Amino acid sequence: MAELTENPFASTHSLEQNPFEDPTETHAQSNQYGTRMQELQQREQELQRREQELNQRAEHIRTHGRNNFPPFYPLVYHSIQDEIPEASRPLITDLFRLWLLLMATLLVNMIACIFATVTGTGDGVRDLLVSLMYIVVIGGLAFLTWYRPIYNGYMKEQALYYYLYFFFCGWHILFSLYMAVGIPGTGSAGIIQTIRMYAHGGVGIAGGVLGTIASAGWVIEGFGNLWFFRLIWAHGKAAGHSLDKAKGELTTHGAKAYFTRG
């Protein structure tokens, strides 16, 4: 009985202390909870940021279109199916194919100039360097100065784009026929260069074959663009596009109209 009287609240004291609860473990759980809350907040902020970026991108696409061309480094939006009236799609598609033919011709022309340099039938490395420059300069300028304007012209039916096309495509036709001649030192593997490579024999034969392909490409490029130039000129006149109207549009909208889709 004496022993029972000495610790009447022993069991109660034991319950209050809860010996099974580790204070260190409780503190660790609190830290984990705080870390998880912080991670959730960061994720929420990241989701909000991404949502904002997507909204801005959607607005940009709605206003300007999604840049998709060229595929390796998109700079402009190009979709004949979406932007060109159905009746004009075949013509613009053929013009785009002519531009692709130009790029292929420039590439073959450059390779043929390598053979001309090796065989000594060309003007040293000058033909090679100039032909290499043509791929970037002529290919890019052709897209921006005559293909893109007439693409915009049929999309917007504005006289300014038609006359940009008429001016620059005229020069492109002359350039194509000039390249078909193949004068040594001009970066062209046209007819004259091709004949020289065939006459050299040996590896010159391979260069001559490539020169023949390049020459044919330049002829098709020149006369093909001349054919479409005539069709587009007739269409522009029938649509009432005049030089005075083009000047008025330039005064009203300015050069920025070239770079916008509105």
- Residue 49, pLDDT score: 77
The pair of structure tokens assigned to 241 is: 């596009």
- Residue 70, pLDDT score: 86
Question: 183 to each of 34, 54, 188, 194, 239, how far by Cα in Å?
Answer: 78, 54, 7, 10, 41
| Spans of the chain, pLDDT less than 50 | 1-6, 8-17
- Residue 5, pLDDT score: 47
User: How remote is the C-alpha of 81 from its chain's centroid?
Assistant: 17
| Of 197, 225, 10, residue with least CA distance to 113 | 197
- Among all chains, which residue has been given the structure tokens 């090679």? 128
- Residue 57, pLDDT score: 61
pTM > 0.75: yes or no: no
- Reduced to 3 states (helix: H, G, I; strand: E, B; else coil), residue 10 is helix
R_g over Cα of the chain:
36
- Residue 68, pLDDT score: 87
Burial of 130 (0-12, 13-18, 19+ CB in 10 A): middle
- Residue 194, pLDDT score: 96
Peptide bond into 19 cis (omega under 30): no
The predicted-structure confidence for 22-56, as pLDDT tens digits, reads as follows 556 666 667 777 788 888 888 778 767 767 766 66
- Residue 11, pLDDT score: 45
The predicted-structure confidence for 160-199, as pLDDT tens digits, reads as follows 999 999 999 999 999 999 999 999 999 999 999 999 999 9
- Residue 139, pLDDT score: 95
